[in-house]
Amino acid sequence: MIFAQLSFWYGLPYREIRYEMPFSAIQAYSKQLPKLQAELRLMLGEAASVPHLEKDSRQGWVRELSALTGKAIERPRVVPRAVLAMRGILVVDAN
């Protein structure tokens, strides 16, 4: 199973993993798999389902993935309209 996972996530051919890679390297690559998988879940979930979750569920989802990746999830800063205008970004009200 580990050969298939390393091949999928890192693009390594079976022959290289089985015959050329030292066991310590296989262990190091394997140790990083949960972080890679969490990052993929974050990308997919963010686009598809997170906007539709209840607030408590959404916060739990973010905490879980933040713990797995070891990265804090930061809220985007609110940029004043004047700063956006100075950069040539037009903001139009939805009304």
The reply to whether 27 falls in a domain is yes
Contact status, residue 42 vs residue 65, Cβ threshold 8 Å = yes
Portion of the chain with pLDDT greater than 90, in percent: 3
Total domain count, the chain: 1
Tens-digit pLDDT profile for residues 5-36:
888 888 888 888 888 888 898 898 888 888 88
Q: How confident is the model at residue 64 (pLDDT cuts 50, 70, 90)?
A: confident
The reply to whether 18 falls in a domain is yes
Measured in whole angstroms, how far is the alpha carbon of residue 37 from the centre of its chain? 8
The reply to whether 91 falls in a domain is no
**Domain housing 24:** 2-86
